[in-house]
């Protein structure tokens, strides 16, 4: 037995020695390569441009097809280019490109590194959830069952099609005693709802509402909103002007609310990086950024690339934030636990 152990140790040592030898061989070839600093200038320049794009994304103008907002919507994905450029720099054997790559890597970590770590805590007084159920959802009954089983105390639903509202009402009735539907958005709660009313966000029909939820820890003003959709068109760019105007109107309604504790649930069709949502994001904090695990992308459900569904708070403390399992919608439901 001792002989076997010794053999395994010797084999492991031999492998480590061969690996170290190969690494030293690569370093020796790089040291003797006089063109190592001259090659890869284009790659280095690309790395610098990527850095500038992340650092100065707020300076990209929205006057041309809302290009700034489009960039900010998918800003975290710029980090994908760092490992790609790293592979190209190694293949090119360019020390210049490798050094230049430190710039976008450091900037990306500074912008989004905090989202990688798990910041979720324990405890909390109220669990809230929001879900754009999709007007063309082929299985509203199943979606209602999943939401009812989420464990949330308060649930907001968006894109409620008129003839599907009774389906959701029946599916959620056993779990949530109180509810209100205003236009195409609705709120379901285990606790009483008071002062419920639509919120005008300039759409011509109701896509936002407000209610006071009487929790055991006191009243909380809860807003539900579904901001206008955005599109990327070759001839028009990022068509987000209507959404931007509605975001400003929603921000004004929240600013005028006398309640100290406010929760916003909904599909904002924009991310926290998008400057055009400043009317809302300047007043409230995202539960995902404060207490989430990862980016919490919610759309599209089949391959989430952006967090356009949001839970935001004011006057309450986020404890944890997460995405719920996929339903038959094109959005993922999201949930958060807050301390009142």
> Which residue shows structure tokens 């770590």?
117
Q: Which domain holds residue 331?
A: 126-339
- Of 67, 95, 116, which residue is a domain's last? 116
pLDDT tens figures, 294-325: 999 999 999 999 999 999 999 999 999 999 99
In a domain, 270, yes or no: yes
- Of 116, 138, 156, which residue is a domain's last? 116
Say if residue 191 is in the same domain as residue 324.
yes
- Of 57, 89, 116, which residue is a domain's last? 116
- Per-residue confidence at 201, pLDDT binned at 50, 70, 90? very high
pLDDT tens figures, 226-268: 999 988 765 556 778 899 999 999 999 999 999 999 999 999 9
Is it true that the peptide bond before 300 is cis, omega within 30 degrees of 0?
A: yes
pLDDT tens figures, 149-196: 999 999 999 999 999 999 999 999 999 999 999 999 999 999 999 999
In a domain, 266, yes or no: yes
Number of domains in the chain: 2
- Per-residue confidence at 5, pLDDT binned at 50, 70, 90? low
In a domain, 23, yes or no: no
In a domain, 8, yes or no: no
Residue 254 burial (CB count, 10 A): 22
Ranges of H-type helices in 33-184? 41-55, 67-73, 81-92, 95-116, 140-148, 165-172
Say if residue 303 is in the same domain as residue 183.
yes
Domain of 185, CATH number, reads: 3.60.10.10
Contacts of residue 270, Cβ cutoff 8 Å, sequence gap at least 6: 69, 73, 227, 230, 240, 243, 247, 276, 277, 308
Structure tokens at 311: 């839970």
pTM, full prediction: 0.88
User: Which H or E element spans position 152?
Assistant: none
């Amino acid at each position: 037995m001792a002989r076997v152990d010794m053999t395994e140790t010797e084999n492991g040592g031999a492998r480590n020695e061969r690996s170290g030898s190969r690494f030293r061989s690569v370093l020796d070839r790089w040291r003797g390569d006089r063109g190592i600093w001259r090659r890869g200038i284009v790659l280095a320049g690309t790395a610098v441009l990527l850095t500038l794009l992340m650092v100065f994304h707020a300076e990209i103008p929205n006057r041309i097809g809302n290009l700034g907002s489009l960039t900010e919507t998918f800003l975290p994905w710029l980090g994908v280019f760092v490992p790609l450029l790293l592979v190209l720099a190694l293949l090119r054997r360019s020390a210049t490109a490798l050094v230049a790559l430190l710039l976008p890597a450091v900037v990306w970590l500074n912008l989004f590194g905090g989202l990688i770590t798990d910041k979720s805590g324990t405890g909390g007084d109220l669990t809230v959830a929001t879900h754009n159920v999709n007007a063309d959802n082929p299985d509203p009954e199943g979606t209602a069952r999943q939401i009812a089983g989420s464990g949330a105390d308060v649930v907001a639903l968006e894109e409620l099609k008129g003839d599907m509202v009774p389906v959701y009402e029946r599916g959620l009735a056993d779990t949530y005693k109180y509810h209100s539907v205003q236009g195409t958005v609705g709120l379901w709660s285990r606790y009483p709802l008071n002062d419920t009313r639509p919120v005008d966000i300039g759409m011509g029909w109701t896509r936002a509402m407000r209610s006071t939820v009487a929790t055991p820890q006191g009243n909380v003003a809860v807003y539900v909103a579904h901001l206008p959709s955005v599109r990327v068109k070759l001839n028009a760019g990022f068509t987000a002007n209507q959404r931007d105007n509605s975001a400003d109107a929603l921000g004004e309604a929240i600013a005028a609310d006398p309640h100290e504790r406010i929760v916003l649930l909904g599909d904002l069709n924009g991310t926290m990086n998008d400057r055009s949502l400043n009317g809302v994001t300047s007043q409230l904090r995202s539960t995902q950024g404060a207490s989430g695990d990862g980016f919490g992308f919610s759309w599209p459900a089949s391959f989430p690339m952006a967090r356009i569904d949001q839970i935001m708070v004011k006057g309450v403390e986020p404890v944890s934030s997460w995405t719920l399992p996929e339903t038959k919608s094109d959005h993922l439901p999201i949930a958060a636990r807050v301390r009142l």
